[in-house]
């Protein structure tokens, strides 16, 4: 069963087409990777899925329901969680409170009903030791982890990760991949935008290439990466 269906999604900023007739079906439980050069429209695509942006044309369906015009907050209730490319923590709240606010509002529950779950997500994302620190003072790895932890706190069915491995050292990256894998194993559908290919390919089952707002190819990661046009566009390799 498809959890997410995009049909002919189009979005322009002035003359610039950032999404140009994108169609995509994501089955429930899949881990899909998205690659493409800078400015290809990857983060825009996320904003269109989460409702932070509305498309000019086309439809977005989540679990079979048309959510094209639904505001971001409602889509969070429906089960779409996201991390931002540039971490956007609530700086003056503690790490634990960042998760609490997401869990209490995203699931519409009381603090008592979610606080243990938030503590467990902190364990899982290795943030427990800094639980009571203000989120504004975290290191880059911790901020990236917090992005994911906060999205998980809303108990999403679909998790969108935007360049969560970017800027991390190899060791940090490996630790983060383990966490993402554990989330995926739990049955959460994942769409992951990433430039760090080895990280991406160690988790995803399917890969989509985006360029100038268009889908260039989608399929098995190995096969996609072998394609000549993908290598030219994405890796800039002369042939």
Edge-to-edge strand ranges of the sheet holding 206-211: 80-82, 158-162, 189-193, 31-35, 206-211, 214-219
In angstroms, give the least distance from the CB of 198 to other proteins.
28
Nearer to other proteins, 30 or 142 (CB): 142
**What are 38's two structure tokens?**
């800078």
Site residues, other proteins (CB under 8 A): 50, 52, 71-73, 76-77, 81-82, 84, 88-94, 96-98, 100-102, 104-111, 113-119, 122-123, 128-132, 150-151, 153-155
Cβ 30 to other proteins, closest distance in Å? 21
State which residue, 76 or 216, has the beta carbon closest to other proteins: 76
Residue 96 or 234 with smaller CB distance to other proteins = 96
CB-CB contact of 184 with 203 (8 Å): yes
CB of 120 to other proteins, least distance (A): 9
The DSSP annotation for 53-122 comes to S--SEEEEEETTEE-TT--HHHHHHHTEEE--SS----TTSBHHHHHHHHHHHHTT--HHHHHHHHHHHH
Is residue 159 classed as helix, strand or coil in its secondary structure?
A: strand
> From the CB of 127, what's the least distance to other proteins, in Å?
10
| Shortest spacing between CB 44 and other proteins, in angstroms | 14
Closest distance of CB 215 from other proteins, Å: 24
- Which is nearer to other proteins, 114 or 216 (by Cβ)? 114
Q: How far is CA 9 from the centre of its chain?
A: 18
Tokens representing 170?
Answer: 């190899």
User: Are 233 and 41 in contact, with CB atoms under 8 Å apart?
Assistant: no
d(CA 217, CA 234): 12
Complex with other proteins: residue 127 or 215, whichever CB lies closer: 127
DSSP for residue 134: B
Between 117 and 205, whose beta carbon lies closer to other proteins? 117
Q: How far is the CB of 90 from other proteins (least distance, A)?
A: 4
Rounded to whole angstroms, how far apart are CA atoms 203 and 169?
18
Q: Which of 179, 107, 106 is nearest to 142 (CA)?
A: 179
CB nearer to other proteins: give 148 or 215.
Answer: 148
């Amino acid at each position: 069963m498809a959890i997410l269906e995009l049909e002919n999604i189009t979005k322009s900023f002035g003359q610039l087409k950032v999404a140009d007739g994108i169609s995509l079906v994501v089955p429930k439980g899949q881990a899909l990777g998205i690659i493409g050069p800078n400015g290809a429209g990857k983060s825009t695509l996320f904003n269109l899925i989460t409702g932070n942006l509305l498309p000019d044309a086309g439809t977005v369906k989540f679990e079979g329901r048309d959510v094209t015009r639904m505001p971001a907050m409602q889509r969070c209730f429906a089960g779409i969680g996201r991390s931002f490319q540039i971490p956007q923590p609530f700086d003056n709240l503690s790490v634990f409170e960042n998760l609490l606010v997401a869990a209490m509002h995203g699931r519409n529950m009381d603090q008592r009903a979610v606080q243990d779950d938030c503590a467990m997500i902190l364990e899982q994302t290795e943030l427990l030791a800094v639980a009571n620190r203000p989120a504004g003072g975290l290191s880059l790895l911790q901020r990236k982890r917090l992005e994911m932890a906060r999205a998980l706190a809303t108990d999403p069915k679909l998790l969108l990760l935007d360049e969560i491995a970017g800027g991390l050292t190899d060791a940090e990256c490996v630790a983060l991949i383990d966490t993402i894998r554990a989330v995926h194993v739990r049955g959460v559908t994942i769409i992951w935008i990433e430039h760090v290919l080895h990280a991406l390919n160690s988790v995803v089952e399917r890969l989509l290439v985006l360029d100038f707002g268009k889908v260039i190819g989608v399929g098995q990661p190995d096969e996609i990466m072998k394609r000549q046009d993908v290598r030219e566009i994405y890796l800039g390799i002369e042939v």
